[in-house]
Amino acid sequence: MLIASPVSVCSDVDVLVTFVPDSHWTLFDMVHMEEELESIFGRRVDLVSKRGIEESLNYLRRKNILESAEVIYVNS
């Protein structure tokens, strides 16, 4: 899923990812993915897992992100 930040020259790209339940992504994998996306987009990327947002104690942040997320790519 991709969540677009307000568009400006300095804006970042917020990416919400969902992993297959049996996958074992490490923090290093996430950092590597974030760096690859920054190279592709040519700007800073904030990468966060959907599960991390779903488990967030901040109700307003969780609600806002999950309601505004747009699915860009699905691999089934």
> pLDDT digits over 13-59, tens only?
889 998 888 888 888 999 999 999 999 989 999 999 898 999 999 99
Give yes or no for residue 1 having a pLDDT over 60: no
Domains with residue ranges and CATH for the chain: 2-68 (3.30.460.10)
Q: Are 15 and 49 in contact (CB under 8 A)?
A: no
**Tokens standing for 13?**
């790209």
Question: Both ends of the chain: CA-CA distance in Å?
Answer: 14
In this prediction, residue 8 carries a pLDDT of 56
Question: How does DSSP classify residue 7?
Answer: P
In this prediction, residue 32 carries a pLDDT of 95
